[in-house]
Amino acid sequence: MKHTAITPEVASIICPPPAHLRNAMTVDVEDWFQVQGFADAIPRGEWDFLACRVEANTEAVLKHFDEAGIRATFFTLGWVGERYPRLIRRIVEAGHELASHGYGHERVDRIGPAAFRADIRRARAILEDQGGVAVTGYRAPTFSIGPATPWAHGILAEEGYRYSSSVFPVRHDLYGSPETPRLPHRPRPDGVVELPMTTCRAFGRNLPCSGGGWFRLAPYRLFRAGLRQVNEAEGRPGIFYFHPWEIDAAQPRVWQANRLSRFRHYTGVARMPPRLARLLRDFAWSTMEDVYAGEIGPPSVSAELHAMAS
């Protein structure tokens, strides 16, 4: 009898894709001045003195989703939740999943274990208090979890989270872990499951197929073909993400940022709303906790005790 070799990537799958395949729609809720590309141009101490647009932009995103009849996951900064509690309630009341993007948009690979624990604990407390729901999902700012942070998934589990969507298996100058599995996996037995950002295989490498700047810069048909390859050829769901500022063509220009950062941030923003509407029509969408329910699994005893203590 001929046996098929089991690769590490295949072995890392937690469970097969659902019969009626949907993709996970996600929003990283942060303002235009909080992006990593502007970190050298806009000091963190100036955030409270800048024109915040995140509330109005996220309300516009909610309207898009309402018109399309979909639910999504909102990975929200605790910084935003602290200042806009009504927005957090709106997200929950509209039936979406509320998840954590950390508190202050600080890179996990730069702040270390102790500060990371404090950051995700603070964010979760704020979001749960404002939203009145359990917050069990997490996405690291700038996809900054990877080989340099072997402790992160364990700390997330200890703090009551159930999954992370923080690893992008591509090469990029700001983030990326191309050597990590493309499929859902558990990096450590005592940690949360990792749901990596979606990539498709072409030319012997992983190509991004998850949204963000890639979605605005690439031809729409090319992006759609990549996601369809993941859905149909690989038989698994994908994860799409974007930010509220990506639908805001009127946002301020940060001329002091370097040319590459400005190119990445502003290119394609004006055409993002109709392109997003098309994407919502072309594929089936739901929340992370719905699409990946089998991978995430039921709450652990430690998570339940943490929720009771909170």
Q: What is the pLDDT of residues 118-130, one digit of tens each?
A: 999 999 999 999 9
Q: Average pLDDT of 41-66?
A: 97
Residue 279 CA: distances (Å) to CA of 201, 212, 240, 265, 267: 21, 13, 10, 20, 18
- Mean pLDDT estimate for the chain: 89
Tokens 């999943």 found at:
97
Residue 280 main-chain phi, psi, to 5 deg: -65, -30
Q: Is 57 part of any domain?
A: no
**Rounded-to-integer distance, Cα 64 and Cα 78, Å:** 23
Q: Is 116 part of any domain?
A: yes
Q: Is 8 part of any domain?
A: no
Q: Is 59 part of any domain?
A: no
Q: Is 259 part of any domain?
A: yes
Q: Is 129 part of any domain?
A: yes
Q: Average pLDDT of 209-235?
A: 92
Overall domain count for the chain:
1
Which pairs with CB-CB distance under 8 Å and at least 24 residues apart come from 219-223?
Answer: 220/275, 220/278, 220/279
Q: What is the pLDDT of residues 152-202, one digit of tens each?
A: 999 999 999 999 999 988 665 555 566 778 899 999 999 999 999 999 887
Q: Is 173 part of any domain?
A: yes
Residue 6 has pLDDT above 70, yes or no: no
Q: Is 64 part of any domain?
A: no
Tokens 């949204």 found at:
211
The CATH number of the domain where 173 resides is what?
A: 3.20.20.370
**Rounded-to-integer distance, Cα 119 and Cα 285, Å:** 30
- pTM strictly above 0.85: yes
16 CB-contact burial (10 Å; exposed 0-12 / middle 13-18 / buried 19+): exposed
Q: Average pLDDT of 266-278?
A: 96
What is the extent of the structural domain holding 159?
A: 27-44+71-309
